[in-house]
Amino acid sequence: MADQAPSRALEAVLKGSSSLPEGTPQVKGYDFNQGVDHRALLQSYLTTGFQATSFGRAVQEINSMIEKRLEPLEQTEEPSAPPDLSQQHHSGCTIFLGYTSNLISSGVRESIRYLAQHNMVDVLVSTAGGVEEDLIKCLAPTFLGEFSLPGRELRGRGINRIGNLLVPNNNYCLFEDWLMPILDQMLLEQKTEGTLWTPSKMIHRLGKEINNPESVYYWAYKNNIPVFSPALTDGSLGDMMYLHSYKNPGLVLDIVEDIRKLNSHAVFARRTGMVILGGGLIKHHICNANFMRNGADFAVFVNTGQEFDGSDSGARPDEAVSWGKIRADATPVKVYADAALVFPLLVAETFARHAEALTAQNKKD
DSSP secondary structure string, 133-195? HHHHHTTS--EE--TTS-HHHHHHHTEEEETTEEEETHHHHHHHHHHHHHHHHHHHHHHHH--
Residue of 137, 283, 325, 334 marked active site: 325
Helix (H, G, I), strand (E, B) or coil at 339: helix
334 is catalytic: no
* Phi, psi (rounded to 5 degrees) for 54: -60, -40
288, burial (CB in 10 Å: exposed 0-12, middle 13-18, buried 19+): middle
Cα–Cα dist 126/97, whole Å: 9
The answer to whether 251 touches 187, Cβ cutoff 8 Å, is: yes
The answer to whether 324 touches 294, Cβ cutoff 8 Å, is: yes
Taking the chain, what is the end-to-end CA distance rounded to the nearest angstrom?
A: 82
- DSSP-assigned beta bridge partners for residue 300: 275, 333
Active site residues: 325
